[in-house]
A and B are shown apart, each in its own frame.
Chain A
Amino acid sequence: MSGKTVWVATRKGTFKVEKSAGPWHAALVGHSGIGVNYVARDPKTNRLWALLGHGHWGAKLSISDDDGATWRDNPAQVKYPEGARYIGQDMYEDAASEFGVGWKTTIRNATLLKLWVISFGDNGSIWIGTIPGGLFESRDGGASFELNRPLWNHESRGGDLFNGDGTGETKWFGTPASEGGEFAPGIHSIAIDPRNPKRLLIAISTAGVLETSDGGNTWRSRNKGMTMDHNPDPEAEWGHDPHVIELCRSSPDHVWQQNHAGVFYSDNGAENWRKVSAPSEGVHFGFPVTVDANNGKVAWLVPGRSDAQRMAIDGGLFVARTDDGGASWRQLRKGLPQESAYDVVYRHALDNNDDLVAFGSTTGNLYLSEDRGESWTAVSHNLPPIYAVRFG
């Protein structure tokens, strides 16, 4: 069933979920005991790519050419080049301060803290988003990866720190999602335009959305219409906290964003965003969003209770779907637990493929729908914490 396999990245390994004879079944196929942040198939080569976070041994790219039966480290790993630096913000103890702490910016040497997302262009390009905010590209099928310097040196980030100290000011902040606890920016979304593989939208926690239309040579912000509730200027150009973005494959100008500050939708390629949260339907806070490949107005979310709680709303788990570009939402609950459920679903842990929709939670529950979310079955309640769910 090409494309109907579900790949599940968890804190303790990679699982392959299939329906061959009987119900959907999850099998551990690789990386036992190792954190897997993301796993996805390159549709051009059929190669599977897993983004690992070893507790002791650092972040590694792992590949499989036999449908997950065997895995090996990719010979080329993602490494920050010598001289890659960025401006970080640090709190430090300061006895002279009335608060006991000071806040300062420092220039840090960049090393790979986390592999977070991988995306594949129709021209064979492979893009990887990382913490501390580097975007890496391979133009040779994964034989080598290179830091995208125009983005790394972008003025919003403080300019070129390879050659000097830049502007001294960054508009990129951080995410606590790095492995090892360092607070640094992270690229978690890479949306490639199927009409033009040189056009990409990326999303960064915490900065916002940027776009290139020339294969990464130049980048511009795409945050118009976005609002924040964690900044004195809610419409500032930078400082946004996209949790994930995804575009529609058949109509790529339709782009969806689940943000810390609500749900946003664009029907003009992220030139302008419109807030489509519906708090009365529970649609506001959450991490994932996925878009129907054939209809850009159709999207699914798994809402959570507020940034202060981050769990299922009132103990009942539901998926929200819109069929009209966010004008209205339906809560899809059939088959999902409606009491004593406290699941949270991470940004990459919801995906769709035709009528199939699947999501997994950090409490190890994996749910799947064969009717676009109208009803759900539990594939497993006992997986490790789930980080990503991808059809492929």
Chain B
Amino acid sequence: MVQVQLTRHLFAFFPQLEGQTLEVEATDVAGVVRALEARAPGLGFYLCDERGRLRPHVNIFIGNALIRDRRQLSDAVKAGDKVSILQALSGG
């Protein structure tokens, strides 16, 4: 299982996820997003645009590393990985 940590900002829109331990079965980041969408319909469109690309001001980390493929979300994940989904900061 892959453990997912979401920015708390998203709990305002998906309160059903707050306080849950989010663990999903997935082999890549796109699979993580699909699993989250199944659990909280609509969440996928918060993270990605309608072509499946990660929105410009959203970051996804596997461990401490930013994912590399923001277009297809093909970065691989494996059991035990921790995936963090956070809002990007633009300074200020």
CB pair B88 A112 closer than 8 Å:
no
Beyond A57-B10, A109-B51: 10 further Cβ-contacts under 8 Å? A54-B46, A57-B13, A73-B13, A73-B42, A75-B41, A79-B50, A80-B50, A111-B50, A112-B50, A180-B56
Q: A56 and B58 in contact (CB under 8 A), knowing A73-B13, A73-B42, A77-B42? A: yes
Distance to closest chain A CB from B45 (angstroms): 6
Question: Interface readout for A105-122 with B: 1 if CB under 8 Å, 0 if not?
Answer: 000010110000000000
**Which chain A residues lie closer than 8 Å to B56 at the CB level?**
180
Contact between B49 and A57 (Cβ–Cβ < 8 Å)?
no
A57 — nearest CB in chain B belongs to which residue? Answer: B46
Contacts of A80 in B (CB 8 A): 50
Residues in chain B within 8 A of chain A (CB atoms): 9-10, 13, 41-42, 45-47, 49-51, 53, 55-58, 87-88
Interface bits A17-58 vs B (CB < 8 Å: 1, else 0): 000000000000000000000000000000000000011111
Contact present for A111 and B42 (CB under 8 Å): no
Residues on A with C-beta less than 8 A from B41 are 75
Is there an interface contact between B57 and A55, defined as CB atoms closer than 8 Å? yes
Most buried by B among A58, A77, A109, A180: A58
A73-B13, A79-B50, A112-B50 known; A56 and B45 CB under 8 Å? no
Chain B residue with Cβ nearest A58: B55
Is A56 a contact partner of B57 (Cβ separation < 8 A)? yes
Contact between A111 and B13, CB atoms less than 8 A apart:
no
Residues of A within 8 A of B9 (CB): 56
* Shortest CB distance A54–B (Å): 8
For the complex, give the distance between the alpha carbons of A57 and B45 in Å.
8
A58 to B56, CA, bound (A): 9
CA distance in complex: A111, B45 (Å): 11
Residues of chain A lying within 8 A (CB to CB) of residue B53: 111
Give me the 7 closest cross-chain CB pairs, A-B, nearest first.
Answer: A79-B50, A57-B46, A111-B49, A56-B57, A56-B87, A111-B50, A80-B50
Contacts of A109 in B (CB 8 A): 51
Q: Is the CB of B88 within 8 A of A56?
A: yes
Query: B51, A58: Cβ atoms under 8 Å?
Result: no
Task: Closest A residue to B59 by CB, please name it.
Answer: A56
How far is it, in angstroms, between the C-alpha of A79 and the C-alpha of B46 when the chains are bound?
12
Q: Chain A residues in contact with chain B, CB under 8 A?
A: 54-58, 60, 73, 75, 77, 79-80, 82, 109, 111-112, 180
- Inter-chain CA distance A112–B50, complex, in Å, is 8
How many Å lie between the Cα of A58 and that of B49 in the bound state? 8
A58 with B87: CB separation less than 8 A: no
User: In the bound complex, what is the Cα–Cα distance between A75 and B43 (angstroms)?
Assistant: 11
Chain A residues in 8 Å Cβ range of B45: 58, 60, 77, 79
Closest beta carbon of chain B to A233's beta carbon, Å: 37
Chain B residues, CB < 8 A from A60: 45-46
Chain A residues in 8 Å Cβ range of B50: 79-80, 111-112
What is the CA–CA distance of A56 and B86 in the complex, to the nearest angstrom? 10
User: Which of chain A's residues have a CB closer than 8 A to the CB of B57?
Assistant: 55-56
- CA of A73 to CA of B51 in the docked complex: distance in angstroms? 20
Would you give 11 A-B contacts (Cβ < 8 Å), ordered by A? A55-B57, A56-B9, A56-B58, A56-B87, A56-B88, A57-B13, A60-B45, A73-B13, A73-B42, A75-B41, A79-B45
> What separation, in Å, do the CA atoms of A56 and B58 have in the docked complex?
6
Measured CB to CB, the closest approach of chain B to A183, in angstroms, equals 16
CA distance A56 to B55 in the complex (A): 7
A77-B9 Cα distance, complex, nearest whole Å: 20
Closest to B86 in A: A56
Interchain CA distance A11-B14 in the complex, whole Å: 22
Task: List chain B residues, Cβ under 8 A from A54.
Answer: 46
Residues of A within 8 A of B49 (CB): 58, 111-112
Q: How far is the CA of A54 from the CA of B88 in the complex (A)?
A: 13
* Distance in angstroms between the alpha carbons of A57 and B42 in the assembled complex: 11
Tell me the minimal C-beta distance from A80 to chain B in angstroms. 6
A75: min CB distance to chain B, Å:
8
Chain A residues in 8 Å Cβ range of B87: 56
B66, chain A: closest CB distance, angstroms: 16
Q: Closest Cβ of chain B: how far from A23's Cβ, in Å?
A: 32
Nearest CB in chain A: distance from B39 CB, A: 15
- Return B9 CB to nearest CB of chain A, in Å: 7
A76 to chain B, nearest CB (A): 10
Give the docked Cα–Cα distance between A79 and B10 (Å): 20
Look across to chain B and name the residue whose beta carbon is closest to the beta carbon of A33. B12
Residue of B10, B49, B57 contacting most chain A CB atoms (<10 Å)? B49
